[in-house]
Amino acid sequence: MATASTARAWCASLAIAAGTAGCFSDRGLAIEIDVAGTGATSVELFLGKTACEASDNAAEIDCKALGPPPAGSPLLRGSIWFRDDLVVNTAAVSGSRATFQLRSDTTASLPIVIAVGLTQGDHPVGVATLHDVTIPTGSARVLATALVPAGAVQATAPAKTAVEDRVQVWRKTAPPSSCVVAEHWEGGAATRSFVVPVQDPDCDDFVADDCDPAAYLGGTMPGTASRPDCFALQAPACVLGSRACTNGNPIRTDACGPQRNATTCVPDRFCACTDGIAGTCWQDQVRTGPVPVPVIDCSVATTQIAPFTVCPGAGQDTAMIALDAHFTQDQNCGTPTIASSSLLDFGSSASFGGAVMDLTSPRKPCTFSILWKTGARTASDPVDIGAIRLQTASGALVLPLMLHFHPTINNCIGPQFSCALTDVPTDGVWNCAAP
């Protein structure tokens, strides 16, 4: 909304019929909540402003599930909404009602509003969920709803024949705010909605050093992080792994374990690197390592004048990469993907100092081409390191890619782009190519 539309207690002495008169002023929305015999002495209002989108959200969660307290609880799947602001909005019950007034400088619509009835001990006893709530600017209206009795969120599902509501509220302190999950059970299935702060979606007071922002006090075991960050030995191969994590430790220094969700083999020498995937050690193993590493080594001729571009002419922008010796017709490799200066974030193309490289689909068992698709080379270093990932039946394997860029000395006559596999046949990386 254009301005903070913080809900605040309204003059509960006015009836709904009073509409736009009295202390309700002449614009905005009044939400009047009947506690309906739940025993609630106050009501807390959660304004869901923005849907959590998996492709891009500041909370850095997958938007599919959250784990409420206590620590170690399973993640609960449901719709996740980020709250309007951090302020905790509560109103005391007067008679049998609590009322809030919402205002906005521009007409606004809240996708979801959850009202939770609380007793003196901050114990939730009732819930109401509203969808697509519009706040007018030049007029006023009253929206009335009633709480339904709600029990505590728990791991055990009710009977399939039961229709039941459950709710849980938990709070953070720095800065103060709160999270809520509301469940409606029917036919043995739950419809579940969360409203949480984007700054700390699990409300555990860990933000920058939160191991798992989708789980309350959610530490992780080795190999269970969503993205790998280290190298681990899973005999007979070196594989991508992730470190265990404890909230409050911004640098993961705990034990590294193989990724449990997938097996991705990398050259053996990468397991000698203690600085992890984000470090430079693995690239040093490719460039100057004392022990040979399997690598796709390419020579790429460019024009002589900066910014350097690919040599013109048919076929000058393409080189073949043949890995057939490690695959069979019955065990061919999948579509290759490429990354620049990284062992993560593979895609159909990657930029190497401005030169965008693309890969073709493989010809059985595993031969494909690398193509200088577009762009000009602006980086000063003549050598660039990247990686190529191949999906296999047993997981995936990652081979480093070394590109040697050099201005041509023969005016781009003859083949100018070539690649070859510098192989170490006994390297464990090829175990991921085996059936």
**Could you tell me which residue, 331 or 214, shows the higher pLDDT?**
214
Res 174 pLDDT > 70: yes
Same domain, 206 and 245: no
Same domain, 325 and 381: yes
Domain boundary residue, one of 176, 193, 219: 219
Whole-angstrom distance, CA of residue 377 vs CA of residue 408 = 14
User: What pLDDT sits at residue 249?
Assistant: 64
**Alpha carbons within 13 A on the beta-carbon side of 360:** 16
Mean pLDDT of 322-340: 92
Instruction: Retrieve residue 310's tokens.
Output: 């690919």
The verdict on residue 408 lying in a domain is yes
- 140 lies in which domain range? 1-219
Same domain, 6 and 150: yes
Same domain, 91 and 127: yes
The verdict on residue 288 lying in a domain is no
Mean pLDDT of 390-408: 93
The verdict on residue 284 lying in a domain is no
Average pLDDT, the chain: 89
Res 349 pLDDT > 90: yes
Q: Which residues pair with 318 in a beta bridge?
A: 371
Same domain, 260 and 397: no
DSSP reduced 3-state for 277: coil
Instruction: Report yes or no: 27 and 106 within 8 Å, Cβ to Cβ.
Output: no
pTM of the model: 0.62
Q: How many helices (H) and strands (E) does the chain have?
A: 1, 29
pLDDT digits (tens, 9 = 90+) for 177-236: 999 999 999 999 999 999 999 999 999 999 887 888 999 988 778 998 878 999 999 999
Among all chains, which residue has been given the structure tokens 């114990």? 123
**Could you tell me which residue, 317 or 20, shows the higher pLDDT?**
317
Same domain, 316 and 184: no
Whole-angstrom distance, CA of residue 197 vs CA of residue 199 = 5
pLDDT digits (tens, 9 = 90+) for 13-44: 222 222 333 445 568 999 999 999 999 999 99
The verdict on residue 287 lying in a domain is no
Mean pLDDT of 276-294: 93
CATH number for the domain that contains residue 379: 2.60.40
Instruction: Report yes or no: 95 and 27 within 8 Å, Cβ to Cβ.
Output: no
User: What pLDDT sits at residue 414?
Assistant: 62
pLDDT digits (tens, 9 = 90+) for 296-315: 999 998 888 778 888 877 67
User: What pLDDT sits at residue 14?
Assistant: 25
The verdict on residue 153 lying in a domain is yes
